[in-house]
């Protein structure tokens, strides 16, 4: 009996093993001939011809010129059509859910947000599915062109099985969110902790493009971290890698809500910092006002900002020393304070390197992605599952030079 060939309209084509190998290679190489694809993927010429024909028929790839002449017939070069393959990223917060339709470059084509009617998992998942359908319908994008759906969510996540183990913000426990959404949408779902997702956003779209290893620190809602080591996300076997908010960094230190003292979160969680300022002075500042007052010579504001810088410096020095990091990216409001603030963190780690008689390029920078880190991270989750990031030609030394120039301007 003749084996039936997979239909070109099948949603499985884009994610079949052979197609993924071709897409991954084209993404990494930029452009590639069929001969080179055969060599790099180790597939037969016949298989490459069939797969590239199917991908071409769907518009996922196209011919992009010919190779330079080496004698004989010049080979046709193939390239990805970045605007024909889509990803949906979803960021779930306690009071808002954001959805974005993106291309492979992380450029948003369309967005929707909604405020959940209820936090009960099954109800919110149904709301997400309705908003997903509206998102792609408004741009007339067929599901066959969607590589997958990424979800960034606050809490401890078993990303292998797509289960949110625990989220204090949402009040969820043991929610198999990936399976439940896959059953409704009919698309592969990737779920990850929001800090880990933000780290992937930096790897694919931000300051991590030229880094082998990086740490992303979330600061607005505590002290969570995402770790990328040797271009791979480190989540831990229980999904708890990077849970740094209640790691003690200063002893003796200020009391923390967890009952201990000196935890990283104590110094970074902005509502607590603002409360301490109000208790000490009787004045109630906004977030940005605190930093303006610190820069203007307000002693209490300066003390609180310096405490945060020291806590960050301690955490970064430990993490960077253990993991041999190239870049540390500070997200949230603390990362927006510029190199005048971040250079203190960088200097402390440099002291560690000097004490160990080590020399290396290293940079501490604020996130270039701002409030888009979570939703871009959700997109990055899908890209990271199916593709392989090309390392940019500019190295960490170039990033370090740029940060030094910014510090000098300040």
Do both 78 and 92 map to the same domain? Answer: no
Shared domain check, 177 and 39: no
Same domain for 63 and 74, yes or no, is yes
Domain that holds residue 345: 209-409
Categorize the per-residue pLDDT at 67 as very low, low, confident or very high, splitting at 50, 70 and 90: confident
pLDDT number for residue 340: 79
pLDDT at 399 (0 to 100): 57
Mean pLDDT in residue range 240-254: 61
* 145 and 53 in a common domain: no
- Nearby residues of 23 by Cβ (< 8 Å), 6 or more positions away: 14, 55, 60, 61, 80, 85, 386, 387
User: Do 160 and 241 lie in a common domain?
Assistant: no
Q: Do residues 401 and 283 share a domain?
A: yes
Q: Which two tokens stand for residue 179?
A: 């399976």
pLDDT in tens, 382-397: 988 888 655 444 455 5
pLDDT band at 28 (very low <50, low <70, confident <90, very high): confident
Most confident of 20-24, 133-137, 205-209, 301-305: 133-137
Residues 112 and 78 placed together within one structural domain of the fold: no
pTM: 0.82
> Is 357 a domain residue?
yes
- When divided into structural domains, the chain yields a total of 3
Q: Average of pLDDT values for 170-180?
A: 93
User: Are residues 363 and 221 both part of a single domain?
Assistant: yes
> To 5 degrees, how large is the angle CA 210–CA 214–CA 219?
125
Query: Where among 174, 198, 222 does a domain terminate?
Result: 198
Q: Which of 137-141, 344-348, 393-397 has the highest mean pLDDT?
A: 137-141
Spatial contact of 131 and 138, defined as CB atoms under 8 Å apart: no
At residue 140, does pLDDT exceed 80?
A: yes
The total number of residues written for the chain in this structure: 410
Does residue 8 lie within any of the structural domains?
no
Confidence check: pLDDT of 40 > 60: yes
Q: For the chain, report the end-to-end CA distance as a whole number of angstroms.
A: 73
From 198, 223, 257, give the residue that closes a domain. Answer: 198
- Which of 150, 179, 198 is where one domain is finished? 198
Q: Tell me what pLDDT residue 245 has.
A: 53
Task: Write down the pLDDT at residue 7.
Answer: 35
pLDDT recorded at residue 398: 61
Q: Does residue 66 lie within any of the structural domains?
A: yes
pLDDT at 123 > cutoff 50: yes
Q: Give the SS3 label for residue 207.
A: helix
Q: Is 3 part of a structural domain of the chain?
A: no
* 168 DSSP 8-state letter: T
Mean pLDDT score, 314-326:
80
Q: Taking residues 297-306, report their average pLDDT.
A: 92
CATH classification of the domain holding 54: 1.10.10.10
Q: So what's the pLDDT on residue 170?
A: 87
**In whole angstroms, how large is the CA radius of gyration of the chain?**
24
Q: Please check whether residue 347 lies inside any domain of the structure.
A: yes
Q: For 255, which DSSP code?
A: B
339 and 251 in a common domain: yes
| Within-domain flag for 353 | yes
CATH code at position 162: 3.30.420.40
Assess whether 97 and 178 both reside in one domain.
yes
CB atoms within 10 A of CB 39: 13
pLDDT in tens, 78-108: 998 988 899 999 999 878 999 999 998 889 9
User: Nearest Cα to 265, choosing from 298, 312, 304?
Assistant: 312
Residue 293: the pLDDT is 92
pLDDT band at 248 (very low <50, low <70, confident <90, very high): low
Is there a single domain that holds both residue 26 and residue 47? yes
Over the chain, what is the mean pLDDT?
Answer: 82
Tell me what pLDDT residue 410 has. 52
Residues 182, 223 within the same domain: no
In this structure, is residue 116 part of a structural domain?
yes
Residue 42 lies in a domain: yes
């Amino acid at each position: 009996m003749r084996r039936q060939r997979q239909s070109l309209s099948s949603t499985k084509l884009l994610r079949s093993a052979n197609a993924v190998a071709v897409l991954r290679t084209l993404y990494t190489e930029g452009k590639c001939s069929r001969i080179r694809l055969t060599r790099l993927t180790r597939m037969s010429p016949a298989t490459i011809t069939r797969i590239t024909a199917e991908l071409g028929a769907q518009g996922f790839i196209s011919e992009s010129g010919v190779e330079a002449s080496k004698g004989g017939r010049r080979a046709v070069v193939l390239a990805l059509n970045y605007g024909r393959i889509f990803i949906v990223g979803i960021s779930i917060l306690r009071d808002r859910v954001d959805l974005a339709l993106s291309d492979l470059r992380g450029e948003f084509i369309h967005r929707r947000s909604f405020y959940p009617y209820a936090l009960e998992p099954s109800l919110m998942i149904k709301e997400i599915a309705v908003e997903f359908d509206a998102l792609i319908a408004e741009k007339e994008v067929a599901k066959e062109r969607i590589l997958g759906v990424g979800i960034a969510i606050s809490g401890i996540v078993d990303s292998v099985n797509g289960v949110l183990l625990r989220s204090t913000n949402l009040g969820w426990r043991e929610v198999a969110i990936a399976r439940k959404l896959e059953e409704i949408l009919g698309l592969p779902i990737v779920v990850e902790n929001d800090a880990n997702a933000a780290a992937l956003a930096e790897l694919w779209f931000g300051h991590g493009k030229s880094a082998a290893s990086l740490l992303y620190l979330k600061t607005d809602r505590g002290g969570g971290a995402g770790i990328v080591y040797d271009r791979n996300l480190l989540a831990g076997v229980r999904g708890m890698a990077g849970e740094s908010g209640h790691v003690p960094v200063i002893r003796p230190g200020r009391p923390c809500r967890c009952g201990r003292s000196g935890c990283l979160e104590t110094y970074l969680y902005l509502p607590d910092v603002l409360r301490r300022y109000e208790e000490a002075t009787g004045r109630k500042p906004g977030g940005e006002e605190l930093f303006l007052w610190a820069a203007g010579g307000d002693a209490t504001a300066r003390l609180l900002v310096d405490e945060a810088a020291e806590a960050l410096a301690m955490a970064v020095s430990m993490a960077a020393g253990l993991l041999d990091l190239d870049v540390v990216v500070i997200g949230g409001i603390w990362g927006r304070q510029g190199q005048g603030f971040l250079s203190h963190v960088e200097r402390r780690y440099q002291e560690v390197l000097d004490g160990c008689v080590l020399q290396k390029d290293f940079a501490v920078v604020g996130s270039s992605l701002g409030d888009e880190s979570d939703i871009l991270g959700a997109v990055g989750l899908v890209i990271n599952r199916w593709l392989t990031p090309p390392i940019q030609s500019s190295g960490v030394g170039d990033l370090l030079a740029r940060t030094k120039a910014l510090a000098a301007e300040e």
